[in-house]
Amino acid sequence: MIVELAVLPSGVGASVSKYVKEAVKIIKESAGKIHNSPMCTVFEVDTFQQLAEILEKIDRKMEEMGVPREIFHINIDIRRDKKIDMEYKLSRIKKQ
């Protein structure tokens, strides 16, 4: 499955880059392929359990860092009729 995740630490001021950096680090350590953008991180996992473990790790790290509130924005793309990955989806766009 392809997951798009944005984590918004709240209550820590205007700059959140140090928190986002830690979340991205956790994703890199836990997921397969990963792509960072200015607004989110896209990555691949095989199961919802893997995704839940990543979210738990991020939540624990934010708590350790003193973040009083987090907002998670998650989009998930699951395709059952054929195997897809991030490269496949991008190649289909370029083909058009």
Q: pLDDT (tens digit, 9 = 90+) per residue, 24-70?
A: 999 999 997 899 999 999 999 999 999 999 999 999 999 999 999 99
Question: Residue with structure tokens 């738990």?
Answer: 56
Sequence-distant (≥ 6) Cβ neighbours of residue 56 within 8 angstroms:
none
Q: Which domains does the chain have, with CATH numbers?
A: 2-95 (3.30.70.930)
The answer, yes or no, to whether residue 82 has pLDDT greater than 90, is no
Reported as a pLDDT band with limits 50, 70 and 90, residue 19 is very high
Reported as a pLDDT band with limits 50, 70 and 90, residue 83 is confident
Question: Mean pLDDT in the chain?
Answer: 93
**Residue-level pLDDT at 37:** 92
